[in-house]
Chains A and B, each alone.
Chain A
Amino acid sequence: MSEQNKAIHEPLLRVVKRSESSMKQKIVVRAAAILLALIVDALFIFFITGLNPLAVYTTMFQGTFSTAMRFSWALRDLASLLLIGIALAPAFKMRFWNTGAEGQVLVGALATAAVMVYYGGKLPNWLLYTVMCAASVLAGALWGFIPAWFKAHFNTNETLFTLMMNYVAIQIVACCVNIWRGQASGLGKLNMKSKAGWFPQVFGQRYNINLIVVVLLVVLMYCYLRYSKQGYEIAVVGESENTARYAGINVGRVIIRTMIISGALCGLTGFLIVGGRDQTISTSTAGGNGFTAIIVAWLAKFNTFTMALISFLLIFLQKGAMEIASAYALNDFASDIIAGIILFFILGSEFFINYRLIIRGSHKEVC
């Protein structure tokens, strides 16, 4: 066969799996992706509004960093997002597509709210908190257990199952909110007078408890996944069920156990959001964070510390976009666009971490 034949046979661009990519490479690729995304975002801002993108980014920066209060609000919202991300980490590490975090958070929040409504003022405070917490964890765990059980026994598609469970939860919450508000137009804060079930103020804010919990959980979940026996089992099941069986791991049991943990932590998030942040409940208590957290968990490759970074980036964008909105009389949906573009770029950049491109003829790598 001549050289010519060979050349025809070889396509213009060839994709080859990278055998190895160094830490430096990974960081460079991701940083480049974020930078590119910010440039695209800047172009978007410029063409739509005619505003100077740099000025806009400066304004954006102020959304989070201009005052201590702003920063603390950003941390509060970060806590909600990150908590869900942490809750999802074990499920995703096991390659169980839990798209139902939104619903698991909601049922947890609902359980908390129910305890506040029915037992607020009737139980001593410490007991009330305990019951709220326990109820939310149980509710979330149940919401995680149901699809897991079917997955373990009948291999029912978990992506679609958990997705549907979200809406079941939303409707149940809508129903309860309807009951509790009675004739009023909205539910308002629960136990407004007695403040029963509201978290106590720590360092001046109720939601600071959420922050403490999230910091704790970042470390705990990291250790759980990294160092515990169960974390090890999760990793093996996620990589290869065949190997898991070879190692003597009961795959079905690990799936169910992990989803109970994932659901329970989502439920706990619901408890923290209601008790520490909102003191009320609505169908938007989870606020789409259940979906965003999926992206956070996936991009961070289940490392809770990386998750904290990505969550912070997203919250920063959100706050920044709100700031732009008020400063330039735009609207804060811009944050969704900006976040969307950044997510697309980061998702796309994974390709260049895992593969490299080879141009025909040369042995030079493109990336």
Chain B
Amino acid sequence: MEYAIELRHITKTFGRVVANHNVSLAVRQGEILSLLGENGSGKTTLMNMISGIYYPDSGEIFVKGKPAEIRSPKDAYALGIGMVHQHFKLIDVFTAVENIALVLDKHEKYDLKAIKARARAICDKYAFDIDLDQKVYEMSVSQKQTLEIVKMLYRGAEILILDEPTAVLTPQETDKLFAVLRNMRADGKSIIIITHKLHEVLSISDRVSILRKGEYAGTVDTDMATEASLTELMVGKKVELNIERPEPVNRHLRLSVHNLSVTNAEGVRVLNNISFEAFSGEILGIAGISGNGQKELLEAIAGLQNVDPDSSVVYFPDDDRDSTAEQLIGKTPKSIRDMGVHLSFVPEDRLGMGLVGSMSMVDNMMLKSYGNGHSIFADRKAPRHLAEEIKESLGVVTPSINTPVSRLSGGNVQKVLVGREIADAPSVLMTAYAVRGLDINTSYTIYHLLNEQKQKGVAIIYVGEDLDVLVDLCDRILVLCDGHNNGIVDGRTTTKEELGLLMTALQENKGGAAR
């Protein structure tokens, strides 16, 4: 049987990181294939090689049975391959038609009227709902996505790749998208859709291919699959990590989050009535596919996000519940600190938010404490001591504590950041993807540090992506799905499969109504 596109033994590395290893995959003519996998399993990298963004280190690509060389998006267009990226490649101040004209074939005459007529015809054919004269900045996310698809079809795409198209859509919009995709399938187009949501996988696709940690883990017909079987394929077998998990001691309420909601600049509700409690001496894990509200949740608590009315985050300094409780919502990071609340936060964007890349370790140590004391000059003695101490105790590899931190390797950068946040003697410690991109040893150093803090009575909120780690490290795990609290499970009794299901399938009572 001839495949629309076939990948054979594709490998791609970035430096020492292997993004894809020996992956083979095939898409039939006129089918919808779901590509499933956890964060960092190499789905997007693989698709970028089909669409000409990256070039594979080894392996072959066949389009309609013929070997293909895809070196640029242009080559991909010529082969009838179009990809809709997660970050839309559109010009905001252009109209829809102008954006379509941007990818016009060289030989096609530049005539906006004719282009519009052809685009109109495509929209009518597949029932796309879009105003072609509208400027992109006036469009909703779903309209922009539609425009991207129309753009690809206009350019003659026979094979369409969609990278997490439903992540930004409401259920209604998702239904609309799926209807269009089915129309396209009926027309003989091949579609690859990257997604994490199992119910969507089951409802839209003909077959499902699964990637796990950069490797191909198998393909199943959707008819034969269930959410449970897919989850198992996706998360793989439980790996024993041997991360210690001390019992919580002196556990009492530290942080009470109630009805926390955040609406982003585009008007999308990215956090929906989140409520939970965090206790001292305990690690609360936050699981979820990335981009499901984790960033907003932590930033809202830290005073860096505008939250919707009625949101509440109450901080309890000790076990005396009412007298000294403090509302953190509406406060800036500085006023939270001035209240004497030691809230430490290791953000996801280490060098873009947590640290200043061009500054030395010493100067980075004082990022939050530079204002201490009454002198107009900043004290650098204490930060220098701290930098020396962190360098010693965490084994930061750096030529000197005066070297700009952007020159350090990822693991050392993280040690500097975590070291500083812990040195503040926090009562609440929030970390986002604390071990992302780190080698095993450094990761274990970080787990160890977190456990140490836990035993000191710190309430830890740990946002992670590796389910094995979450299950081994955390006392309780809250699962975020689509900005909803999709359930809190006990870290000691839960399984990866349970988490995987909670991450990918919104519980009935949580969704729908809230929308």
* Mutual binders A and B: yes
Residue numbers of A with Cβ under 8 A of B are 1, 5, 9, 19-20, 223, 227-233, 235-236, 239-240, 242-243, 245-250
Which of B103-111, B146-154, B370-378, B428-436 faces chain A? B370-378
Interface 1/0 per residue, B355-369 and A, CB below 8 Å: 111110001001110
Asked whether A229 and B56 contact (CB < 8 A) given A239-B356, A239-B357, A247-B333, the answer is no
**A248–B368 CB distance below 8 A:** yes
User: Could you pull out 25 A-B pairs where Cβ atoms are within 8 angstroms?
Assistant: A1-B59, A5-B69, A9-B55, A223-B377, A227-B377, A227-B380, A229-B375, A229-B376, A229-B378, A231-B378, A232-B363, A233-B370, A235-B356, A239-B356, A240-B353, A242-B353, A243-B367, A246-B333, A246-B353, A247-B367, A247-B370, A248-B333, A248-B337, A249-B334, A250-B334
Distance A233 CA – B377 CA, assembled complex (angstroms):
12
Partner of A246, one of B59, B347, B380: B347
Distance A243 CA – B350 CA, assembled complex (angstroms):
9
Asked whether A229 and B71 contact (CB < 8 A) given A1-B58, A243-B355, the answer is no
**B378–A228 CB distance below 8 A:** yes
Set of chain A residues within 8 Å of B424, measured between Cβ atoms: none
Distance A240 CA – B304 CA, assembled complex (angstroms):
15
Please name the residue on chain A nearest to B356 by beta carbon: A239
Set of chain B residues within 8 Å of A9, measured between Cβ atoms: 55, 71
**A232–B358 CB distance below 8 A:** no
Set of chain A residues within 8 Å of B57, measured between Cβ atoms: 1
B423 to chain A, nearest CB (A): 15
Within 8 A of A (CB), among B366-405: 366-368, 370-371, 375-378, 380
Distance A232 CA – B367 CA, assembled complex (angstroms):
9
Set of chain B residues within 8 Å of A1, measured between Cβ atoms: 56-59
B408 to chain A, nearest CB (A): 10
Residue numbers of B with Cβ under 8 A of A are 55-59, 69, 71, 302, 304, 332-334, 337, 345, 347, 349, 352-359, 363, 366-368, 370-371, 375-378, 380, 407
Distance A239 CA – B351 CA, assembled complex (angstroms):
10
Q: A228-B378, A229-B375, A248-B333 are in contact. List 5 more A-B contacts (CB 8 A).
A: A5-B69, A227-B378, A245-B333, A248-B332, A248-B334
Distance A68 CA – B126 CA, assembled complex (angstroms):
85
Distance A233 CA – B357 CA, assembled complex (angstroms):
15
Q: Report, nearest first, the 9 A-B pairs whose CB atoms are least far apart.
A: A248-B334, A248-B333, A229-B378, A247-B367, A239-B356, A242-B353, A227-B377, A246-B353, A232-B370
Distance A236 CA – B355 CA, assembled complex (angstroms):
9
**A236–B376 CB distance below 8 A:** no
Set of chain A residues within 8 Å of B71, measured between Cβ atoms: 9
**B347–A232 CB distance below 8 A:** no
Distance A228 CA – B55 CA, assembled complex (angstroms):
49
A319 to chain B, nearest CB (A): 36
Distance A236 CA – B367 CA, assembled complex (angstroms):
8
**A245–B378 CB distance below 8 A:** no
Set of chain B residues within 8 Å of A231, measured between Cβ atoms: 378
Please name the residue on chain A nearest to B349 by beta carbon: A242
A280 to chain B, nearest CB (A): 37
**B377–A228 CB distance below 8 A:** yes
Distance A247 CA – B56 CA, assembled complex (angstroms):
41
Partner of A229, one of B355, B356, B363, B370: B370
**A243–B56 CB distance below 8 A:** no
Set of chain A residues within 8 Å of B375, measured between Cβ atoms: 229
Set of chain A residues within 8 Å of B347, measured between Cβ atoms: 246
Partner of A232, one of B332, B349, B354, B366: B366
A257 to chain B, nearest CB (A): 13
Set of chain A residues within 8 Å of B58, measured between Cβ atoms: 1
Distance A249 CA – B59 CA, assembled complex (angstroms):
50
Set of chain A residues within 8 Å of B370, measured between Cβ atoms: 229, 232-233, 247
Please name the residue on chain B nearest to A8 by beta carbon: B71
Set of chain A residues within 8 Å of B333, measured between Cβ atoms: 245-248
**A229–B371 CB distance below 8 A:** yes
Distance A245 CA – B354 CA, assembled complex (angstroms):
10
A123 to chain B, nearest CB (A): 32
Set of chain A residues within 8 Å of B356, measured between Cβ atoms: 235-236, 239-240, 243
**A242–B352 CB distance below 8 A:** yes
Distance A70 CA – B303 CA, assembled complex (angstroms):
60
Please name the residue on chain B nearest to A249 by beta carbon: B334
Please name the residue on chain A nearest to B336 by beta carbon: A248
Distance A178 CA – B332 CA, assembled complex (angstroms):
52
B61 to chain A, nearest CB (A): 10
Set of chain A residues within 8 Å of B359, measured between Cβ atoms: 235, 239
Please name the residue on chain A nearest to B56 by beta carbon: A1
Set of chain A residues within 8 Å of B357, measured between Cβ atoms: 239-240
**A20–B378 CB distance below 8 A:** no
Set of chain A residues within 8 Å of B367, measured between Cβ atoms: 236, 243, 246-247
Distance A19 CA – B355 CA, assembled complex (angstroms):
17
Which one of B55, B69, B353, B375 has the greatest number of beta carbons of chain A within 10 Å? B353
B503 to chain A, nearest CB (A): 27
Distance A5 CA – B67 CA, assembled complex (angstroms):
14
Set of chain B residues within 8 Å of A5, measured between Cβ atoms: 69
A179 to chain B, nearest CB (A): 42
A212 to chain B, nearest CB (A): 23
Partner of B407, one of A19, A228, A230: A19
B333 to chain A, nearest CB (A): 4
**B376–A230 CB distance below 8 A:** yes
**A20–B407 CB distance below 8 A:** yes
**B352–A240 CB distance below 8 A:** yes
Set of chain A residues within 8 Å of B332, measured between Cβ atoms: 248, 250
Set of chain A residues within 8 Å of B407, measured between Cβ atoms: 19-20
**B376–A246 CB distance below 8 A:** no
Set of chain B residues within 8 Å of A232, measured between Cβ atoms: 363, 366, 370, 378
A165 to chain B, nearest CB (A): 28
Distance A247 CA – B302 CA, assembled complex (angstroms):
11
